[in-house]
Amino acid sequence: MMTDDFRSLPIDAESAAQLKERGLRFGLIDSGDSSAFAQWILAEGRGFHEPNPTDESLKEQVDGLADQRTTGVWDDTLGDRDTPVATVGSWPSELSVPGSATIPAWAISAVTVSPTHRRRGIAKVLLESELRAAHALGFPLAALTVSESTIYSRFGFAPAALSADYSIDTRRAVWTGPTASGRLQFVSPASLREDGRALIERMRPHLPGEVAMRDYKWERILGMVGDREAARSLRMVRYDDGDGTTQGLAVYKVTDTGPHHAAQVLDLQYLLATTSDAHAGLWSYLLQLDLVGTITATLRPVDEPLAWQLSDFRAVRKTDERDHLWTRILDPKVALVARRYATPGRIALQVSDPLGFAEGRMLLDIDPKGTATVTPLSGEAPADAAELGLTVNELSAAYLGATSWSTLVRTGRVEELREGSAAAADASFRTPTAPWLSFWF
């Protein structure tokens, strides 16, 4: 895998030719060219309707995002020829998969097209170029978080991990869960930059759906870069267990929403607990803070167990549940072998892929330890194998366990070529917790 050379991999010739026919120029930006990179960042922000950054914030982005492959599309007929009309950024990452393992992933972000250049097929060219680049570099899958959910399925992507937002009425939420063994303490952003980073890396392989977090993203969560005024409201606590080992952290802010202090809202920005004990310690602390009437928490797991730890189950409301992480499998053999499975089994998969990367028939053999092998399949599937027909989208959707094969069969997305195949596949792909990604990228 040529990860050392990913920034200098030549631009996709097929994509460049397609855009040239439309009067557009497709190319890479040298992240060392701070002026050109700054123009790209401004274009990307404009694509998401963000306010123009301050000079300080712009410099932070130029420095913090320099480790990515930066691609743009330019229209040289415009008065402003230096600002791209479309953007995409990408970089090598890792995706955590069931079985406390990780797999290389091509992370894609900052996909924008200027509203002045919509309906010209630019996004299609950009996404197909990224997938060809990822395939050329040897990545078995691509991953992204999406602002619009109607774009990416045409390229083989599918929702692979969902997230949920919660609202908790603390006046009704009496803690009935276990008593934590350790203690909490307020910490500084500078402390969490290192200690929290180490905690994330220690926990990440055990959280299917989690993607390696870049340093710049973690510093944004901590308020060390970006909106300094908003960062002034952030509070951070660290949880150490009874042995003094750091096992969790929380980043939050409290907002006064009315004339009475009890109406204040605690907005939970980020919470990570590596143990059930740390989960209890952090949540019981947040729920018992004085002068707070409501806690809002975004980007939490869809199976967050908090309601089961309170005296009033209805004190916790799931206010939104939606797709968050989308993946696109490029090499089914590598992807399927990387994860572990709940039960042994034999599953024949007939996968179609309009772009050709994952096309083929294959036999997934899972041994009693949950380890798999994948072999090409020609002719009839073995008599003892489950057999499913699907597109790469469904393979990507079911890969981490976010949705069941039975659901995909019921909705007509997967064809059950042998009766009972969906149930057999569900038994093997089942995971004890729902896959989850804790941030946007």
Beta strands in 128-257, from DSSP E residues, in sequence order:
141-145, 158-169, 183-186, 234-240, 246-255
Phi and psi angles of residue 28, each rounded to the nearest 5 degrees, phi first: -100, 150
Q: Is 152 a catalytic residue?
A: yes
Catalytic residue flag (residue 186) = no
Helices (H), 119-241: 122-136, 189-203, 215-221, 228-231
The active-site residue, picked from 152, 216, 270, 399, is 152
CA separation for the pair 364, 41 (Å, rounded): 43
- Sorted by sequence, the CB contacts under 8 Å of residue 37 that are 6+ apart come out as 29, 30, 31, 62, 65, 66, 70
Backbone angles phi, psi at 101, to 5 degrees: -130, 165
Tokens read off for 130: 């990224």
CB-CB contact of 73 with 19 (8 Å): yes
Torsion of CA 143, 147, 153, 155, to 10 degrees: -60
| Helices marked H in 206-318 | 215-221, 228-231, 276-287
Between vectors from CA 81 to CA 79 and to CA 86, what angle results, nearest 5°?
115
* Structure token pair of residue 161: 């991990």
- Return d(Cα 404, Cα 416) in angstroms, integer: 13
Active-site hit among 157, 216, 357, 441: 441
Closest CA to 329 of 139, 109, 163: 139
Residue of 281, 277, 273 whose CA lies nearest to 300 = 273
CA atoms in the 13 A half-sphere facing the CB of 32: 2
Token pair for residue 58? Answer: 């712009």
- Kind plus residue range of the DSSP H or E element containing 364: strand 360-366
84: Cβ–Cβ under 8 A, 6 or more apart, which residues? 39, 40, 43, 72, 73, 74
d(CA 373, CA 265): 50
The number of helices, as runs of H, and strands, as runs of E, in the chain is 12, 17
Residues with catalytic function? 152, 441
